[in-house]
């Protein structure tokens, strides 16, 4: 089942179920989080009731929002080897064998989530970048989970675009902290939340056989396959829960897929062919079965001095 959070001309958020060319309104709900906290069975029951009730909205008349307005937490992992190699090369580092043993992640900003539409650039950045990722959204919580329990905790998936101010990020990370302000201005999630049963026919050892692409102004920049991921989401959730807890609604990012950002592409093919993003650019991230997430880059005000 595909769920969508959207807003019409009145800007009031609503929740719906995607069915063909229509959104079926889920009565009494404006956010996915309370339903996830009630359990996946309650979520599916609400979706089924919405389809039976038959109140529909034309998707062309609304804007798709992030399925969850403010996730409890957002952990972003680093699970695609090709991207990791490129990122370490960018920082002048060789591939570390430890990466194959530990699914590392960082915490980012739950307040920065948005759906389709405008994305404000990192303040002070002139090297603004997209990052094409998959997000798992949890429907169960727990502590010290096994990988199998971690997989069971996943309720479904969505496209994630982890926007990055590369110049700001690089400067900060020379201090062995972060990512910090280079990452937390905007994170796009959507356009739908898709329950994991819809993807089961495509399951592989660590992911799903689903193509991932990203275009800038109609030109394809990125192409990868979700199945190339080194760690499964079950393994990522297990590690995230070690010595602490995860909760329903938590968002777990896969990390950028191979070719999934301009930083990687410009290293391989040159900045002339793959320039960083500018105001007015349209970026469309797409994953088979999860839809297409459309964003337009807008300028950010100059940073306010803090000292």
Q: By C-alpha distance, which of 181, 189, 190, 192 is closest to 108?
A: 181
* % of the chain at pLDDT higher than 90: 92
The CATH class that applies to domain 74-298 reads: alpha beta
Cα(113)–Cα(66) distance, integer angstroms: 6
* % of the chain at pLDDT higher than 70: 100
CB distance 293 to 188 below 8 Å:
yes
CB distance 91 to 264 below 8 Å:
no
DSSP state of 307: -
Report the chain's C-alpha Rg in angstroms: 19
User: What average pLDDT is seen over the chain?
Assistant: 96
Q: Say if residue 181's pLDDT is above 80.
A: yes
pLDDT in tens, 228-253: 999 999 999 999 999 999 999 999 99
Residue 88, pLDDT score: 83
Instruction: Give the three-state DSSP class for 190.
Output: strand
pLDDT in tens, 259-284: 999 999 998 898 899 999 999 999 99
Q: Say if residue 119's pLDDT is above 80.
A: yes
Q: Which helix (H) or strand (E) holds 193?
A: strand 187-195
Q: By C-alpha distance, which of 161, 107, 94 is closest to 133?
A: 161
Q: Say if residue 91's pLDDT is above 80.
A: no
Cα(180)–Cα(107) distance, integer angstroms: 9
Q: Say if residue 152's pLDDT is above 90.
A: yes
92: Cβ contacts below 8 Å, ≥ 6 apart: none
Q: Say if residue 219's pLDDT is above 80.
A: yes
pLDDT in tens, 10-44: 999 999 999 999 999 999 999 999 999 999 999 99
Q: Where are the domains of the chain?
A: 2-65, 74-298
Structure tokens at 120: 């404000």
Structure tokens at 262: 């301009």
CB distance 155 to 139 below 8 Å:
yes
Band (72; pLDDT cuts 50, 70, 90):
very high
- Residue 95: how many CA atoms within 13 Å on its side-chain side? 12
Residue 13, pLDDT score: 98
Residue 203, pLDDT score: 98
DSSP output for 225-284: EGGG-SS-HHHHHHHHHTTS-B-TT-EEE--PPTT-SHHHHHHHH-TTTSPPB-TT-EEE
Most distant pair of Cα atoms in the chain: their distance = 58
Residue 145, pLDDT score: 98
Band (86; pLDDT cuts 50, 70, 90):
confident
42: Cβ contacts below 8 Å, ≥ 6 apart: 35
pTM for this one?
0.97
DSSP state of 61: G
Residue 268, pLDDT score: 86
CB distance 70 to 247 below 8 Å:
no
Would you say the C-alpha torsion 105, 244, 70, 46 has a positive or negative sign? positive
């Amino acid at each position: 089942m595909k769920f969508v959070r959207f807003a019409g001309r009145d800007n009031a958020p609503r929740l719906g179920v995607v069915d063909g060319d229509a959104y079926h309104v889920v009565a009494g709900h404006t956010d996915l989080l309370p339903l996830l906290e009630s359990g996946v069975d309650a979520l599916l029951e609400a979706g089924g009731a919405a389809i039976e009730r038959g109140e529909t909205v034309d998707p062309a008349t609304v804007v798709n929002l992030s399925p969850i307005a403010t996730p409890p937490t957002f952990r972003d992992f680093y699970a695609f080897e090709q991207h990791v190699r490129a990122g370490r090369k960018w920082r002048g580092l060789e591939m570390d064998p430890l990466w194959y043993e530990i699914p590392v992640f960082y915490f980012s900003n739950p307040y920065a989530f948005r759906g389709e539409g405008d994305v404000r650039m990192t303040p002070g950045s002139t090297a603004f970048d997209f990052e094409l990722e998959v997000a798992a959204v949890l429907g169960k919580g727990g502590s010290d989970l096994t990988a199998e329990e971690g997989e069971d905790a996943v309720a479904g998936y969505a496209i994630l675009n982890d926007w990055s101010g590369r110049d700001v990020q690089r400067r900060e990370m020379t201090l062995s902290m972060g990512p910090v302000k280079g990452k937390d201005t905007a994170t796009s999630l959507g356009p739908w939340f898709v329950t994991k049963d819809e993807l089961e026919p495509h399951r592989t050892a660590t992911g799903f056989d689903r193509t991932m692409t990203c275009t800038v102004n109609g030109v394809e920049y990125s192409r990868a396959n979700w199945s190339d991921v080194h760690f499964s989401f079950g393994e990522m959730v297990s590690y995230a829960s070690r010595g602490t807890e995860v909760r329903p609604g938590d968002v777990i990012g896969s990390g950028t897929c191979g070719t999934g950002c301009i930083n990687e592409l410009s290293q391989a093919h040159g900045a002339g062919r793959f320039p960083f993003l500018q105001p007015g650019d349209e970026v469309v991230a797409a994953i088979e079965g999860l839809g297409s997430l459309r964003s337009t880059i807008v300028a950010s005000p100059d940073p306010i001095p803090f000292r």
